[in-house]
Each structure stands twice: as C-alpha cells, then as structure tokens.
Structure 1
Amino acid sequence: MGRGFLFILLLIALPAAAQIYKYTDADGNTAYSNQPPDGVKAQPVELPPLNSVETQPTGKPAPAEAREQPRSAYEVLELTGLPTTEALRANNGTFTVNVLIKPRLQGPHLFRLLLDEQPYGQPGNVPILQLVNIDRGLHSLAVQVIDGETVIQQSPTVAFTVQRVHKP
C-alpha cells in the first residue's frame, strides 16, 4: 500500500512541476506551451516561485469595522396571511400561508417552513405553503430560504394561535 500511495502522490505532483516553453510560431508570434513543438527552437521558461502566506492566529478578535456583516440575499422575506390580533380559525387544523419575497426566489434556492422552530414538510419553490392538522394552541412560524442544507436567510418568526372546534 505504501508504494501505491507514493505512486499516486507522484502522479498528482508531476503536472504541478511541468515545464513551460516559449517559442516563435510560423507567423512570427511569441507562443507558450507545456510541450516544445517539433522542428521549432523552444526555450524553457523559468517561472518565479508561487507566493504563499502563512497566517498565524493572534487570539484577538478582528475589530468591528473589519468584520463584514453578511448581506441578505433577499430584501424582503416574510410570512403573510396569518392573523396577528386574533386566533386563526382552522376547524381541521389545515390552512395556508404566503411568502412575500423580493427579489424572486433564485435558481437553486427553496423555501423551508419552520413550525415551532422545527422543519415542517418538504422544501419547495412555491411561495404558498400549506399546513395540515395543526394542533390548537400557540405556535410559531418562520420560513427559511435554503440551498441544500445551507440556510441562506430566515424570515422573522410569527407567533399565532390556532383555534379548532373540539368534538367529543
């Protein structure tokens, strides 16, 4: 296994050490290539070493002005369609909420609903979200814009009360 690993490492390192050649083509233009052309006098080009910087942790936090605040991808992201001053009447616990978003949802992004701070349902790209069979009582709701498992942005959390008819 040691020789196989060394061989693979050598194969990876060889392209990094490839030589560059400079020559003049048939039209008199200067050209560069990683292989010298046949029948043409080519000169190897000596490249300077690559710049590298090693950072040392200082243990000090960056000054406030140096820390860049993350920019929101969306100017507006909020839930609408929920009553704020009275209970939401949903006898079977089913209702919809709308997502107000500006600009429009971008390519790979999806909406993910959070009910009581937990993901609810499947992520999707439609700004109308349905909740089914939600228990009566106080709940919180927010929407996230996600890209895969990465949260891009989250709306403010909205608190609301579901009122259902209780049948004995």
Structure 2
Amino acid sequence: MRLWLLIICLIALPVTAEVFTYIDAQGNRVYTDQPGSGNAKRVPMAPSNRMSANPGGAAPVAGKKAATKPLFHYDMLRVLVPEPDATVRSSAGEIIVSVTSEPGLQRGHRYRLLLDGQPTADPGLSPVFALSNIDRGSHNLSVEILDEQGRTVERTANQPFHMLRISLAQKRQVRPCTLPDYGQRPECPLKDKPAEEKNPFLRFF
C-alpha cells in the first residue's frame, strides 16, 4: 500500500523534478526526489504529453484590418464663377460655373457641382459646368471633390447667387426692336413686325 501511495505522489510531482529510488533497510523500494541514500538511483522519466497553452511561445496576434487609404487634403477649393452674391440675368435661366482647386485634381478624383444641395450631374474631370433652366430667385452653389472610392475629400461652403430671368417683353423695353431686328432677335418675332409704309409716289407706277 505504501508503495502505491509513493507512486501516486511521484506522479503528482512537477515534470521537471528528478526521481530517485533505493532499497531501504527493511527491503522496501523507496521513491524520492532527494538522492539522500548512497545506493539511490535516478529513475528515467518518459517525456510529458502535456500541451503548452501557447505552443508557439508567441502571443496571439489579432487579425489585421485592411489598410484604409487616408483622404488626400487640398489646400484650396472654391467656386470662381459666379462670384458670391452675383446677379445673373438670363431669360433661359442659364449660367456657367467654374471651379478651381490647389493643388490640381488628383488622379482618380472627380469634381461634382451641387445646386441647392443637389448634384447637377455625375462627377467628372471638368472644372466648368453649364447649367440651364434655373428658376428665378436666389440659389446656392457648392462643389466637392470625390475620390476613387466615392468619398468626399473636400467640399466648399454654399455660395449664393441670384437668377433674374428677363422676359421678352422686358428685353424689348430695354432695347426696342428695329425693322432689321425682326426675325433676328427672339424678342422680335416676324409676326410683330409692323407693315412698311409704301412710298406715295410709287403707287402710280
């Protein structure tokens, strides 16, 4: 019984401890971790089958997220034409908008013009935009630059302008129609052309 208790105790010893055995004075085999007796012999130990909590010895590395390309920064972006609070006179509600940036537009980037917060067209490379049929009254323009991922890189503040759509009657008041103007100017249609007075001296011929 004592022998089995000794074996159980030895099994519980750390795997790095050395085990020795000898025969005591009563003829019993003794197992110990101390080589105290002169005839004690070292007992060879089988390799442990315990698995290390971290076999590689290195701390687990969390999965790296895909690197996100940082946004490019423009030093300047603004609407050149029309100027802030400009008044535009057009019977058809037409306006030409020009924008600029510093540095110039980067590869993969696009301009997009917004009128009253709504895109006027798909993003493009041209810094010049032609708009038409804009309602009379006050409006706001802004421009933004989008990168290849569709992210907004830069955007200007709203810049107001005022559209005056002059009627044909108002144009005629500003610049009255003359005979050569009829059929040439939109506000001077041929149907409104007055009849030419005949020379009274030619009616006998």
Q: Bin the TM-score by the shorter chain.
A: 0.5 to 0.7
Q: 1:71 Cα deviation (Å)?
A: 7.4
- Distance in 1 separating the partners of 2:163 and 2:95: 10
| Greater relative CO, 1 or 2 (CA 8 Å, sep 6+) | 1
Could you tell me which amino acid in structure 1 is paired with residue 78 of structure 2?
E
For the pair shown, which has the larger CA radius of gyration, 1 or 2? 2
Matched, 1:110 2:110: yes
Which residue of the partner structure matches residue 152 of structure 2?
151
Q: Paired residues, what number?
A: 108
Whole-Å separation in 1 of the counterparts to 2:115 and 2:167: 22
Between the aligned partners of 2:137 and 2:162, the Cα distance in structure 1 is: 5
Unaligned runs of 5+ in 1: 1-45, 54-69
In structure 2, relative to structure 1, the CA distance for the partners of 1:48 and 1:85 (3 Å cut) is closer
Map Cα deviations across residues 74-127 of structure 1 (whole Å, 9 max, x no partner). Answer: 101000111435411122111211112000101111111110011111211111
Q: Output the CA distance in 2 between the equivalents of 1:85 and 1:155.
A: 15
CA distance in 2, matches of 1:103, 1:117: 25
TM-score norm. by structure 2 comes to 0.47
Q: Distance in 1 between matches of 2:86 and 2:106?
A: 34
Q: Residue 166 of structure 1: CA displacement?
A: 2.6
Q: Distance in 2 between matches of 1:124 and 1:47?
A: 54
More strand per residue: 1
What amino acid is aligned across from residue 48 of structure 1 in structure 2? A
* CA 1:72–1:97: 2 relative to 1, 3 Å: same
User: Counterparts of 1:58-137 in structure 2 under 5 Å?
Assistant: 73-137=73-137
Give the TM-score of the pair, scaled to structure 1: 0.56
Counterparts of 1:157 and 1:120, CA distance in 2 = 14
Instruction: Report what 1:8 is aligned to.
Output: none
Tell me the SS of whatever aligns to 1:144: strand
